[in-house]
Structure 1
Amino acid sequence: MADHSIRGKVVLIAGGAKNLGGLIARDLAAQGAKAIAIHYNSAGSRADADATVAAIQASGAQAVALQGDLTTAGAVETLFADAIAALGKPDIAINTVGKVLKKPMTEISEAEYDEMTAVNAKTAFFFLKEAGKHLNDNGKICTLVTSLLGAFTPFYAAYAGTKAPVEHYTRAASKEFGARGISVTAVGPGPMDTPFFYPAEGADAVAYHKTAAALSPFSKTGLTDIEDVVPFIRHLVSDGWWITGQTILINGGYTTK
């Protein structure tokens, strides 16, 4: 019987320096992960990456910070190669990379569309590809998407639209990698209380989102708190391995499919 615990496992987290990715890293270290590779995108996130690495090491695990713009296949290949060279082959690979754009379709430029596609869809595809090539048998892969995949809303065509392919990538990967015991899932949080959310929203929209979930009155912010998402990801990359090929919306009743 395969061991599906987190203890002793090697983890790679894309976008793992801060916010949800950083909290996931700290949580998995606390659950006994042996080593965690923290990816960060640019120099602006280096201090956060270093702080997360220090927190992981303080818990007794190994950790390394790896920088890269993952919008090319080569960069994703390099990330996995560097992580393996530093810590060994991963058992768990989590991709939290994403970019939000809230804008009417009639105002979205080709350059903006191309960037959204590169960050949200292309990065996810090649992360899944490299994870499928390099994960140990009985590994776990989880990609962050968005609850807007279950919503009927304007202004998020480029964001939700470029996250939507990840559902199909997840289903295909679960079938292709399943023979090796690898489970593949996607998680779609509702609007989260992170710096990722607020720049895209006006005051009226923020006020709406803080009351839109069925459980909003019981959230400390009214939004999806990252602390409420982490336990689900922990479960999916451990004892929840039997869930595969699925996208799970975690949003307190904000929307469903």
Structure 2
Amino acid sequence: MPHALQGKTAIVTGGSRGIGRAIAEGLAANGAAVVVNYVSNSKAADEVVAAITSKGGKAIAIQADISSVPDVRRLFDETESQLGAIDIVVANVGVAVIKPLVEASEADFDLVFGTNAKGTFFTLQEAARRVRDGGRIIAVSTGGTKMYFTHTALYLGSKGAVEQFVRVLSRELGPRGVTVNALSPGFTDTDLLPERDRAVAAGMSPFGRIGAPRDVADVAVFLASNEARWLTGENIQAGGGVA
């Protein structure tokens, strides 16, 4: 689908590294003009933009802290100002604090829920207000919400909230032809997956390996395309068969 998204404008929050970067590059390779959102690492975001533009794509980097509602709104304002109306939003930002529930502090809770739940909620809110009719909204969750790992109460709780946001918003935006779906990666080769866990994680997949960011990104590109027009309110598992 090299031109499937031609003429579309997309925002990818947390688009400077890992799965977010792969999604940004995948959308651009299929013709979309992409906003690469980042919070602090401008160098990494600029590298993504350069990688896209060097292949003839269109991309810009916009700094915004998704845990800040004014920043979320500014991100959408600047996107519309520089690239026009928005067609695709991928709410990808996520942070994790891994520790037993009894050891989690209020600061830990505020960090994880402030980014993953609050940040995603207000990203979805702005997307709902601004995405054109027939648009695509994708929120990145995690396959972990159905696996109940220890020490992950904060992370999985915040992502469980995201999945509920998606289900409700899909009903609210259906009359406009806007699809809203969750995308749940499994064990993926990013800096969130500790080296010590990789061999075990690979053994849990029928494919005998962990995922590459591109594996997940290709699913996101599909969800952003017209071919996914009949999918909404779903939680698409992109975990290589890990269950």
TM-score (norm 1): 0.89
Where 1:91 maps in the other structure, the secondary structure is: strand
Match of 2:153 among 132, 152, 157: 157
Equivalent residue number for residue 216 of structure 2? 229
Query: 1:249 and 2:241 equivalent?
Result: no
Output the CA distance in 2 between the equivalents of 1:153 and 1:59: 40
Output the CA distance in 2 between the equivalents of 1:129 and 1:135: 10
Query: What is the 5 A alignment of 1:118-133?
Result: 118-133=114-129
Where 2:192 maps in the other structure, the secondary structure is: coil
| Code of the aligned partner of 2:171 | K
| Code of the aligned partner of 1:11 | A
Output the CA distance in 1 between the equivalents of 2:185 and 2:36: 21
5+ long unaligned stretches in structure 1 = none
Output one character per residue of 1:127-181: Cα deviation in whole Å (capped at 9) or x when no partner: 1000000111100010111001111321111110111011110011111111111
Equivalent residue number for residue 47 of structure 2? 51
Identity value in percent: 35
Output one character per residue of 1:69-128: Cα deviation in whole Å (capped at 9) or x when no partner: 110221111110111111111111111100122211111111101111011101110010
| Code of the aligned partner of 1:251 | G
Output the CA distance in 1 between the equivalents of 2:22 and 2:200: 26
Output the CA distance in 1 between the equivalents of 2:26 and 2:198: 28
Output the CA distance in 2 between the equivalents of 1:55 and 1:153: 36
Output the CA distance in 1 between the equivalents of 2:51 and 2:212: 21
| Code of the aligned partner of 1:144 | V
Where 2:229 maps in the other structure, the secondary structure is: helix
| Code of the aligned partner of 1:31 | N
CA contact (8 A) 2:28 2:59 kept: no
CA contact (8 A) 1:29 1:59 kept: no
Q: How many Å apart are 1:207 and its aligned residue? A: 3.1
Paired residue total: 240
Output the CA distance in 2 between the equivalents of 1:171 and 1:130: 16
Q: CA RMSD in A?
A: 1.5
Query: 1:38 and 2:40 equivalent?
Result: no
Output the CA distance in 1 between the equivalents of 2:45 and 2:149: 34
Q: How many Å apart are 1:55 and its aligned residue? A: 2.0
TM-score (norm 2): 0.94
Equivalent residue number for residue 68 of structure 1? 64
Query: 1:8 and 2:7 equivalent?
Result: yes
Output the CA distance in 1 between the equivalents of 2:22 and 2:211: 14
Equivalent residue number for residue 18 of structure 2? 19
Query: 1:92 and 2:88 equivalent?
Result: yes
Runs of 4 or more off by more than 4 Å in structure 1?
A: none
